[in-house]
Amino acid sequence: AAAKRKRAAPAARPKKRAKAAPSAPHPDAQPGPEGAVPQEYSIPPPVSQGKWKNKERVLIFSSRGINFRTRHLMQDLRTLMPHSKADTKMDRKDQLFVINEVCEMKNCSKCIFFEAKKKQDLYMWLSNTPQGPSAKFLVQNVHTLAELKMTGNCLRGSRPLLSFDPTFDKEPHYALLKELFIQIFSTPQYHPKSQPFVDHVFTFTITDERIWFRNYQIIEEDASLVEIGPRFVLNLIKIFQGSFGGPTLYENPHYQSPNMHRRLIRLSVAAKLREKQQVKEVQKIKKKGSKVLIEDDPTEAVFETPAEEKPVEIQFVKPESKPIVKDKKKLRKIQRKKQKKLFRTEA
C-alpha cells in the first residue's frame, strides 16, 4: 500500500499582475532559455493628476405631488451636474428645516429642492446648508431635454462655463444670487465623476424682472453656440438669511402669486360677461320704450301710380276632374281610349 503523504502548509499563490499592451523589447534585455524576451507591464496614469480640493456636493430632490415635467427637469439637472446627489421624495407634511438634516446625512453643502403645490405650481429652493442664505423662486416655462429635441449635445460630466448678465453686478440681491449660482452649478475641479473638458455654457439672463436659464453647447469649429436644454425661468420671491427660513433679506416687489394671477383672469372674464349682460338689458329697455309717431309726409305718395283694374271673371262650370294615375303608361292608355271615342262620335 502506498504510504500516506503528510499535509504541508498551503503554498502562497502568486499575485495577479495587471495586463497591459506588450511593449517593445529593451535592447539590453537578454533572451531567456527559449529565446523569448520578458515583457514590461505599465499602468496608465489617471486622466487628471490634480488634487480634488473643492468637495462641494449638491442634493437635488423634490416633494411629493410633482408632475412628469418637473421630474424630467430634476433628472436633467442631475445628469448635467456630476457633483449632485439624489434622494427620495419628501413628504409635504414635513417642515422645510428637515432638509438641513437630510443634507447633513448625505454629506451635501448645497441643496436644490423642488416644491409642488396644488399639482400645478412649482417652486425651487436654492440653499447653502446649514448656515444659509437661501432663495425661493417660482419656476415658469419649463422645457426639458427630451421635449425640446435640440441639435446640440455635450459630453456627459463635462465642466460648464457660467455666463451671467451684467445686471448681476449692479444690485446687491442679484450679486448674492450670482454667488449662490456659482457655488451650486459650477462643477468642482478634478471631481472624480467629471471630465476635464469645457464644452457647454450655463447662461443666466435677467429680463422682465426674471432670471432666464439656458444651456448651450460650444462647437469647436467656429466656437458658435447651439442650445441643448433644459430651459426654465426663475421668478424670485424672497431671499432668506438662514437655510430654508430665517429673517427675510429681500422680497421681490414685482412678484405676483399664481393664485392672484388666476383670480385676476377669472375677474376679467366675469367683467366681460357682466358687460355683455348690461348691453342686452339696455337694448331690451330701448325696445320696450314708447315709440314716437311720425306724421304723414304729403310728398310720400307723389310717385305712386294707380294700377289698371282687371275685369272679374266668374266661372260657372265646374272644371273636369283629372284622374290621378301614378303609372304613366295607364294614363296614356286612358287618353287613347278617350280620343277613339271622340273619333267615333264624330264619324
Write the CATH number for 185. 3.40.50.10480
Is 218 a member of any domain? Answer: yes
- In angstroms, the CA 57 to CA 112 distance is 11
Is 318 a member of any domain? Answer: no
- In angstroms, the CA 64 to CA 98 distance is 15
In this structure, of 47-61, 123-137, 195-209, 241-255, the range with the lowest mean pLDDT score is 47-61
Is 137 a member of any domain? Answer: yes
Is 105 a member of any domain? Answer: yes
Is 246 a member of any domain? Answer: yes
Lookup: cell for 7 = 499535509
Is 8 a member of any domain? Answer: no
The pLDDT value recorded for residue 27 is 45
* pLDDT at 156 exceeding the cut of 80: yes
Where is pLDDT greater, at 297 or 239? 239
Query: Could you say which DSSP state residue 186 is in?
Result: S
Q: Find the domain containing 128 and state its range.
A: 58-260
Q: Is 99 exposed, middle or buried (0-12, 13-18, 19+ CB in 10 A)?
A: buried
Is 142 a member of any domain? Answer: yes
* pLDDT at 48 exceeding the cut of 70: no
> Mean of the pLDDT values across residues 39-56?
71
The pLDDT value recorded for residue 331 is 77
Tally of domains within the chain: 1
pTM higher than 0.85, yes or no?
Answer: no
Is 326 a member of any domain? Answer: no
The share of the chain scoring above pLDDT 90, in percent, equals 50
- Indicate the pLDDT class of residue 302, thresholds 50, 70 and 90: confident
